[in-house]
Amino acid sequence: MMRIFVVLLSVALFGAAKLPVEQTIAAAHRRLHFRAVDFDPGLREQIGQLGFIAGLSGFRALVADVLFVQAHVAWERTEWGRVLLLFRQVTTLQPRSLLFWDMAAWHMAWNASAAALRDSTQPRLALRIKAQREYFQLGKDFLERGIRNNPDRPQLYEALARLYRDKYNDHQHAAEFFHKAAVLPGAPSYAKRFAAYELSRCEGRESEAYDQLHALYAASNSERLPTLIRRLKDLEIKLDIPLNQRILDPAP
Amino acid sequence: MNRPVHRTFSFGRIAAITTNTFTELSRLKTFYVLLLFALLLIGNSFFMAQLTFQEEFQVLKDIALGSMSIFTSLLAVVATARLIPQDTEDRTIYTILAKPVARFEYLVGKLAGVLLLLAVSVLIMSALFFAVLKLREYTVLSETVRQMHASPPDQVAEALDAVRASSFSVSLLSGIGIIYVKACLLAALTLFVSTFATTTIFTTVVMVFVYFIGHLQAIAREYWLQANSAGWFTKVFLALVALLFPDLQLFNLVDDIVAGTAIPLALFAKTATLGLFYTGFYLLLAWTVFYRKEL
């Protein structure tokens, strides 16, 4: 009896001593974006009981991967509702995985939206276009939530910029997000260039775009790509840049 | 004639028990079946990874590290749970303890045998995992070079660097280290449970519950420490869970490492130290129960 008491007392005392250590490490995890998932009843409803238990048992990434593979199969069968549902679950379970946010947005804004526009069961074009816009919005939502979960990584900013450029034809926002991607560590070298290209297509911001493109042109020979030279030449004409200040390269 | 001096604590005796335990465990069929399944899963991750055409390595790493985590945790529980009951059933324990071997040495030797087995298993799985990862990296690099043969060299170099960066990172080693530490903790806790349990099944079932509760402990702890309107009964229950169980979620770093989060050395050191403290504490608890246990 005494031994049981000693053991229980030791466990409780050790428990009290370990609590602050566990709290400190848990706080460090949150600060460093580990364990970014809150296991609340909302998540349980989303991923089902089995997935919830598996997630709780430390197999969150594995469950997310299985659901990702299911989403892949649903995509092959063009079951767009199921693709959306599965990607919501996947991104909830693994919010730090850029691949899942990017793929979810791509499926919605590119694949599902194209399928909605060609939907032969819907004779009214207006409704097909409405459905297409809804899928664009779903793709944008995925990327915005992905950015909220990964504000320190450039890939999703870049994906959102592409979505604004290709789907909304919104060069202002595209330039903004390419620029946000370009200033983050690990950004691809073209992000800065793309930001300037998009800016050059914004009414009223040509002068700003010209300065950026010219700075890139002057920075290194490797930046003097045909598109950059073409955009610069167009802007020189549009902004009526004096001949002696224009670049010497011939128009590609 | 001088009689040899008997030391109360001998590394030699512990080493002998460790070696015997390791040999005995490595002859278990269960070990090979579990290891085979883990190796199959890790090998299979190579093909699963081909489902994705972006960031090919994520699925591969998730499956491989997930398999390692499952296998080491299972092995830690299954192998440790049978140690004392098996020795009791075979009467080996009486032979050992009848000799001048302290009970603490017996427990340390047994646990060290399991930890050695876990270390060997983790090494085998890591070797296969890194081989699969390198093979996949080589394939992706070749494909990238082939697809970008017309691109400027700096763009090709950038793309190749990106492939290499997404394949291997030092954080993977830290993640594997934490998987091992978690398995050590589970083995020590299982040893503690087996000192008062009567059967292997009982110990294993208790450990399955402990495993799940351990992963929920963080939620209980945070809810308990928050100022909220929970009744006293709930608070007492949550406090018990928080105090009596280890927070196993602290050792689940691989999910986020695979997703690209880097693990700083300080965090790795803190987590590993906590795990080793847990292991030492549960070993001491096991000894507290075992040293006066009637056999």
Residues of A in contact with B254 (CB under 8 A): 61
Encoding tokens for residue B183? 């398995």
Other CB atoms within 10 A of residue A230 CB: 14
Residue A164 has pLDDT above 80, yes or no: yes
Q: In the structure, what pLDDT confidence band is assigned to residue A41 with cuts at 50, 70 and 90? A: low
Tell me how far apart the alpha carbons of residues B93 and A95 are, in angstroms, rounded to a whole number: 50
* pLDDT score recorded for residue B169: 84
Interface predicted TM-score of the whole assembly (ipTM), two decimals:
0.79
**Residue among B54, B249, B254, B268 with most chain A CBs within 10 A, to mutate:** B249
**Cα end-to-end distance, chain A, whole Å:** 91
When the pLDDT of each residue in chain A is averaged and rounded to a whole number, the result is: 87
Tell me how far apart the alpha carbons of residues B189 and B191 are, in angstroms, rounded to a whole number: 5
Which of the listed ranges A68-77, A164-173, B123-132 does the model predict with the highest average pLDDT? A164-173
* pLDDT score recorded for residue A42: 63
Q: What's the mean pLDDT in A194-203? A: 92
Residues of A in contact with B218 (CB under 8 A): 22, 26, 35
Is B48 touching A (CB cutoff 8 A)? Answer: yes
For residues A177 and B231, the model is more confident at A177
CA distances from B196 to B89, B92, B294 (A): 15, 18, 11
Are B5 and B31 within 8 A, CB to CB? no
Residues of B in contact with A53 (CB under 8 A): 212
Residue A87 has pLDDT above 60, yes or no: yes
User: Does B295 reside within a domain?
Assistant: no
Q: What are phi and psi of A33, to 5 degrees?
A: 70, 20
Residues of A in contact with B225 (CB under 8 A): 19, 23
User: Does B5 reside within a domain?
Assistant: no
* pLDDT score recorded for residue A83: 95
Q: In the structure, what pLDDT confidence band is assigned to residue A47 with cuts at 50, 70 and 90? A: low
User: Does B109 reside within a domain?
Assistant: yes
Is B244 in Cβ contact with A12 (below 8 Å)? yes
- What is the tens place of the pLDDT at every residue in B9-53? 788 899 999 999 999 988 887 778 777 877 777 777 666 656 654
User: Smallest Cβ distance to B285: which of A10, A36, A98?
Assistant: A10
Q: Domain locations in chain A?
A: 38-151, 173-252
Q: What's the mean pLDDT in A197-218? A: 90
| Structural domain span for residue B20 | 11-290
User: Does B2 reside within a domain?
Assistant: no
Is B274 in Cβ contact with A25 (below 8 Å)? yes
Beta strands in chain A (DSSP E): none
User: Does B202 reside within a domain?
Assistant: yes
Is B41 touching A (CB cutoff 8 A)? Answer: no
Are B112 and B18 within 8 A, CB to CB? yes
Residue B229 has pLDDT above 70, yes or no: no
* pLDDT score recorded for residue A75: 93
Give the minimum alpha-carbon distance from A204 to chain B in angstroms, rounded to a whole number. 32
Residues of B in contact with A228 (CB under 8 A): none
How many domains does the structure of chain B reveal? 1
